[in-house]
Amino acid sequence: QVQLQESGPGLVKPSETLSLTCAVSGYSISSGYYWGWIRQPPGKGLEWIGSIYHSGSTYYNPSLKSRVTISVDTSKNQFSLKLSSVTAADTAVYYCARSRWGYMDVWGKGTTVTVSS
């Protein structure tokens, strides 16, 4: 069965870069589908950050596009998120997910990232 697991620092200082990785098991990223990141600030709703195909083709939320980079490493069967110049507004639970034709059918458990000095 397909499983996704996020990893990365739980605490990031303001103005620094948030870096997360999503390890995929039970399915080869190279086989297809898009792979994406979604976040949820404390007590709030879901915000789509962006997605990547195994070829490296990406698309991002325009509201974050200037600060976001999503990359894929097919040899490790994982993909990553980098969000630069973070502020307290970037504090959230970050989820990685498989995007099956645009909707997310498999999600990681999520990882909490707090932006604070």
User: Residue 5, interface with other proteins (CB under 8 A)?
Assistant: no
Which amino acid does the sequence have at 20?
A: L
| Least Cβ distance, residue 95 to other proteins (angstroms) | 6
- Determine the interface stretch with other proteins among 12-20, 22-30, 72-80, 94-102 (rule: CB under 8 A): 94-102
Q: Which of 12, 22, 104, 113 binds other proteins (CB under 8 A)?
A: 104
- Give the pair of three-digit tokens for residue 117: 């000095």
Q: What secondary structure does DSSP assign to 11-24, as a single string?
A: EE-TTS-EEEEEEE
Is 53 one of the binding residues for other proteins (CB under 8 A)? no
Task: Report if residue 27 touches other proteins, rule: CB under 8 A.
Answer: no
Q: Which residue carries 């999600």 as its tokens?
A: 107
Of 6 and 90, CB closest to other proteins: 6
Please, are residues 68 and 61 in contact by the beta-carbon 8 Å criterion? Answer: yes
43 binds other proteins (CB under 8 A): no
**Comparison of 29 and 36: residue with beta carbon closer to other proteins:** 36
Tokens of 44: 């709030």
